[in-house]
Structure formats: C-alpha cells, structure tokens
C-alpha cells in the first residue's frame, strides 16, 4: 500500500462517522415571483421566507482513546513480524467494535472506497452486458481496445477512482493500483476472456485492499514504527493482507454470477453488504481468539 501517504491515524475526537459522509439532501427549487396581469402592478410585498430546515442532531461524542487498544494490539502483531495472529485478530476486532462503533459504522467510514467498489462492479456488469470494446469506447478509452488485460484495467483508474487528495480517496486509489498489479499473476491476458468468477475475484480483491489500507491508516502507524526492519514490515503486511482477503471471501454471500443483470441499486446493496459482512466476520474471529 504505497501511493497514499501514511498518517498517525484519526485521533480520539474524530467522529465515528465523519459528517461529510452523510447523505446530502436535495436542494429545494428556487422560489419564483408571481407574474401580475398585464397593465397591473404587483403590490410591494416580499414572499415569506422559506421555513427553516432543522439542523441534523449532533452525533454523540466518540469514546475517549477508542483506538488505543486496537493500536496496541496491532503494534504487538507488527513487532512479532506477523507471527502473533491473536494480536492481529484482537486489533481488528477492537478497531471495528470500539474504534468505529460497529460493522455498520466501519462500512460507512469507507466512503470513497465504497464508491469506487461500485465503479468496479459497474464495469464488470458493462463488460458482460455490452462487451469490453463497446464499454471502453463509451468511456472515451477506445485506444485501450485490444490491449492486454493489465493495461486495460490500469487505463480505467480514473473511471474507478475519484480524483482527490484525501486519505480516504488515496486508500481507494492505492487499492485499485494494488488490484491491477495482482493481475500480473493472472493466466488471462485478454479482458474478453475473463469469466464471471475471475471478475468476482477482481471485485473482492479490491474490497480487501481497501479494508487493509483503512486499517493501516487508522491503527497501523505505530506498527510501522516498531517493526525492526523492511523484512519484518513486509512479513506482517503479507499476513495482514492474507487475513483480510480470507475474511472478505469467507463472508461474501451475494450472487454476481450473472453481472450483466445487475441494476445500479443492486450494485450499491452488494457493495455495502460485502463491506459490512466482512467487518462482522472480523469481529467474530476476534471474539473467537483465545
């Protein structure tokens, strides 16, 4: 996970779900002035001001030091070079339960990642429904038609990932680039030959990379500091990646065997369910740790 900048993670005062992730209400249409009959003047009156929209309730203050235990366990896992799996299980469980307030909130915190995951699944649907060439031409990427699989997916980066500089957007971009890099190990070179199962793997791989990136940003900074050397960092990151990938794959229960039939609403529901189910399984695994 190298393209998004490292940070010390959110502090204890950071809201459980940042306010900018809330749904934005639709704007009211502008008021129009009445038109008087021809030859008459409208009385010098102003229309009454619109009724004030009540402000949303302030969210409850987050628990103090809610990341402390998760960060402590993650540092223990990192300093072991990835061998202390129990510390990792507890770190992720405590991150979800205490750090974010549960799997639902952890899912909502993945704002840019969920949006990008919808884009990934939407591309998979369009490839199956309309064909790779037609989809690329519709996106003004016709020069990618006939190119190798990895080049096609790399060229879709700006389509999948929102252009921005926030950490959240950086996590999504980093995850997509990691997913594209994973395609080097694929035996398929022609995007037209991708099966539904392989496209499912692309989607789940991307989701797993975003969860991994979120954890490293929020609770992994100290772990990177206590790891003894580059070999230890690579070892514990490999263990973290494998752990998260297993949780995403083991918890995934949606049917995307026929992606061409998916609606936009179904894609949104699948993405949100995929994240929430993965977070919930990670909590269950942590609780099962002895």
Count of helices and strands (H, E) across the chain: 12, 0
Q: How high is the pLDDT of residue 46?
A: 60
The closest of 212, 197, 213, 180 to 252, measured between CA atoms, is 197
- Contact by Cβ (8 Å): 116, 176: yes
The closest of 287, 286, 261 to 88, measured between CA atoms, is 286
The closest of 115, 139, 150 to 264, measured between CA atoms, is 115
The confidence band for 26, taking pLDDT boundaries of 50, 70 and 90, is very low
Establish how many alpha carbons lie within 13 A of residue 107's alpha carbon, considering only the half-sphere containing its beta carbon.
20
The confidence band for 277, taking pLDDT boundaries of 50, 70 and 90, is very high
Find the domain containing 163 and state its range.
67-288
Q: Is the pLDDT of residue 3 over 60?
A: no
Domain count of the fold of the chain: 1
Q: How high is the pLDDT of residue 32?
A: 44
Q: Is 217 contained in some domain?
A: yes
- Contact by Cβ (8 Å): 196, 259: yes
Q: Is 52 contained in some domain?
A: no
Q: Is the pLDDT of residue 38 over 80?
A: no
Q: How high is the pLDDT of residue 66?
A: 85
Q: Is 80 contained in some domain?
A: yes
> Which of 47-61, 160-174, 189-203 is predicted with the least confidence, judged by mean pLDDT?
47-61
The confidence band for 133, taking pLDDT boundaries of 50, 70 and 90, is very high
> Which of 73-87, 94-108, 114-128, 182-196 is predicted with the least confidence, judged by mean pLDDT?
182-196
Decide: pTM greater than 0.85: no
Cα dihedral across residues 261, 206, 123, 103: positive or negative:
positive
Q: How far apart are CA 85 and CA 76, in angstroms?
A: 10
Q: Is the pLDDT of residue 22 over 50?
A: no
Q: Is 8 contained in some domain?
A: no
- Contact by Cβ (8 Å): 243, 281: no
Q: Is 22 contained in some domain?
A: no
Q: Is the pLDDT of residue 212 over 60?
A: yes
Length of the chain: 290
Q: Is the pLDDT of residue 2 over 80?
A: no
The confidence band for 45, taking pLDDT boundaries of 50, 70 and 90, is low
DSSP 10: -
Q: Is 51 contained in some domain?
A: no
The confidence band for 19, taking pLDDT boundaries of 50, 70 and 90, is very low
- What does pLDDT average to over the chain? 84
The closest of 63, 18, 106 to 286, measured between CA atoms, is 106
- Cα 187 to Cα 57, 78, 181, 193, 257: the distances in Å are 53, 33, 13, 10, 20
Where is pLDDT greater, at 47 or 197? 197
What percentage of residues in the chain have a pLDDT greater than 70? 78
Q: How far apart are CA 16 and CA 129, in angstroms?
A: 39
Q: How far apart are CA 279 and CA 96, in angstroms?
A: 7
Average pLDDT over residues 121-133: 95
Q: pLDDT tens-digit profile of 62-94?
A: 666 889 999 999 999 998 988 999 999 999 999
- Contact by Cβ (8 Å): 257, 196: yes
Q: Is 17 contained in some domain?
A: no
Q: How high is the pLDDT of residue 123?
A: 95
Q: Is 216 contained in some domain?
A: yes
């Amino acid at each position: 996970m190298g393209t998004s900048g490292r940070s010390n993670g959110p502090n204890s005062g950071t809201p459980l779900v940042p306010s900018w992730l809330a749904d934005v209400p639709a704007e009211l249409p502008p008021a129009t002035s009445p038109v008087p009959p021809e030859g008459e003047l409208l009385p010098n009156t102003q229309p009454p001001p619109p009724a004030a929209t009540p402000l949303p309730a302030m969210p409850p203050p987050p628990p103090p030091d809610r990341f402390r235990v998760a960060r402590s366990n993650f540092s223990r896992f990192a300093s072991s070079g990835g061998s202390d799996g129990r510390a990792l299980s507890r770190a992720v469980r405590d991150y979800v339960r205490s750090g974010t307030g549960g799997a639902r909130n952890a899912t909502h915190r993945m704002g840019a990642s969920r949006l990008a995951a919808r884009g990934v699944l939407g591309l998979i649907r369009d490839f199956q429904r309309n064909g790779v060439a037609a989809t690329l031409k519709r996106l003004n990427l016709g020069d990618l038609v006939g190119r190798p699989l990895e080049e096609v997916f790399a060229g879709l980066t700006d389509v999948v990932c929102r252009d921005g500089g926030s950490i959240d957007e950086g996590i999504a971009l980093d995850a997509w680039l990691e997913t594209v890099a994973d395609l080097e190990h694929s035996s398929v070179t022609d995007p037209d030959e991708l099966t539904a199962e392989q496209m499912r793997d692309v989607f789940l791989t991307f989701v797993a990379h975003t969860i991994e990136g979120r954890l490293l940003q929020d609770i992994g900074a100290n772990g990177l500091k206590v790891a003894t050397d580059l070999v230890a960092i690579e070892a514990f990151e490999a263990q973290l990646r494998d752990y998260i990938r297993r949780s995403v794959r083991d918890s995934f229960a949606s049917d995307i065997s026929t992606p061409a039939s998916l609606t936009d609403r179904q894609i949104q529901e699948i993405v949100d369910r995929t994240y929430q189910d993965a977070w919930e399984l990670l909590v269950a695994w942590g609780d099962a740790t002895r």
